[in-house]
Chains A and B, each alone.
Chain A
Amino acid sequence: GAGVSQTPSNKVTEKGKYVELRCDPISGHTALYWYRQSLGQGPEFLIYFQGTGAADDSGLPNDRFFAVRPEGSVSTLKIQRTERGDSAVYLCASSLGRSQETQYFGPGTRLLVL
């Protein structure tokens, strides 16, 4: 079956612009996670959705970052007033439910802020 997909695969933007990153999880997976991975680092937790609601958004670095999952499937990570320090790979992962440790990751969106 299809895995987790993320679009776009690459995004180049200018400092101060707004960007949206999309994640399409595996069908039937109720849990969805967003991570940020900088070069040479491991993924850093941003936000966790269980269904439509953000169960834990404590990893979002500041109020420029926001994520939604209105129908409990596709999620969008939104970054306002982008800064050069936001450049990273943004990864999405999904899993079957609240207590499932098996996360399936997408390929990531590579964001470059000039």
Chain B
Amino acid sequence: QKEVEQDPGPLSVPEGAIVSLNCTYSNSAFQYFMWYRQYSRKGPELLMYTYSSGNKEDGRFTAQVDKSSKYISLFIRDSQPSDSATYLCAMKRGNQFYFGTGTSLTVIP
């Protein structure tokens, strides 16, 4: 079993929809939780990170962490075609970052 599980999708939504992306993890030692966006043939780009359980908001993006359930989410409001990309969750333990497989998102105009 992988330490970080993420549904690969693909996920297709109409423009303006609310998108929910999720990851689960098995190791309670993970301390920091991150979401990256990766466009085709590019490196991942950090969207948000958080240390603790609860919600963190940045513009149209909200990151949610539930440490008791070992579950993290990323919500995208008013989704735009430019949000079409692969979204990767990541978690840090010690010196290492552990990534999910990524969820492919397409926002249809």
Contacts and interface: CB of A to CB of B under 8 A. Distances in A.
Interface of A: 4, 33, 40-45, 48, 55-56, 58-59, 91, 93, 101-108
5 contacts: A40-B8, A40-B102, A42-B90, A104-B46, A105-B43
B101 A103 contact: no
B49 A102 contact: yes
B49 A48 contact: no
Contacts of A59: 96
Contacts, number: 53
- Secondary structure type dominating chain B contacts: strand
B60 interface: no
A42 B34 CA distance: 13
Contacts of B99: 42-44
A4 B44 CA distance: 12
Contacts of B98: 45
Given A42-B6, A108-B41, 15 more contacts: A42-B101, A43-B97, A45-B96, A48-B95, A55-B95, A56-B94, A56-B95, A93-B43, A101-B49, A101-B92, A102-B49, A103-B97, A105-B44, A106-B43, A108-B43
